[in-house]
Amino acid sequence: MRHRQTRSGQFHAPWGRAVRMGTVAVAGLFVSLAVVLPLVVPRKAMAPALLGPAIATVTLGLTALFCVRGYTVRHRELWIHRSFWRTRLSLQDLRRAYVDAEAMQHTVRTCGNGGFMAYTGWFRNKRLGSYRAFVTDPARCVVLEFADRKVVVSPDDPAAFVRALGFEPDTPESRT
């Protein structure tokens, strides 16, 4: 598979299978509600019945705003590109970065989005403890270990991303 790095330090955030399937399922459910409810609800009850699809549409739109579109490493910062802005994380306290395709296995979401357009927010598992995620493909995870926290991202080329951070792209197994 060919990885597309637009230029030095910039990486795409491709959707993995779970994100694609979850997004299609949720969007399909919301669209189905919007189509079916007007057909089955009596006219007198139409306004309240359309409240559900309206809320679903707003939810789709708001979630799309927070999706992860890519990553840029520059000026000792990691920029996580969103729809209309970027989230900036300082890399000053970064102690280690490594590729870990199993980083999100057996994870519990503590606050955030669990797979609709991305995995974003705060999560926890036995392997990493508590961490923040900006992930679109769990199979491409890179773990960033800071002095006081962990962050997980999923660039299109995990090894090149780790190199862009100034580390060698080792895996958890190679460190044992």
**Which distant-in-sequence residues (6+ apart) come within 8 Å of 74 by Cβ?**
9
pLDDT at 146: 95
In the chain, the amino acid numbered 57 is: T
Determine how many CB atoms are found less than 10 A away from the CB of residue 61: 10
Cα distance between residue 99 and residue 112, in whole Å: 23
Can you list the residues of the chain whose pLDDT is less than 50?
A: 1-6, 174, 176
What confidence score (pLDDT) does residue 173 get? 52
Question: What integer pLDDT is reported at residue 107 of this predicted model?
Answer: 92
Distance (Å, rounded) from C-alpha 176 to C-alpha 169? 15
Percent of the chain with pLDDT over 70: 92
pLDDT at res. 112? 83
Output the pLDDT for position 41: 78
pLDDT number for residue 7: 53
Look at residues 67, 74, 37, 42 and name the one whose alpha carbon lies nearest to residue 55. 37
**Which sequence spans correspond to the domains of the chain?**
10-176
The pTM assigned to this predicted structure is 0.82
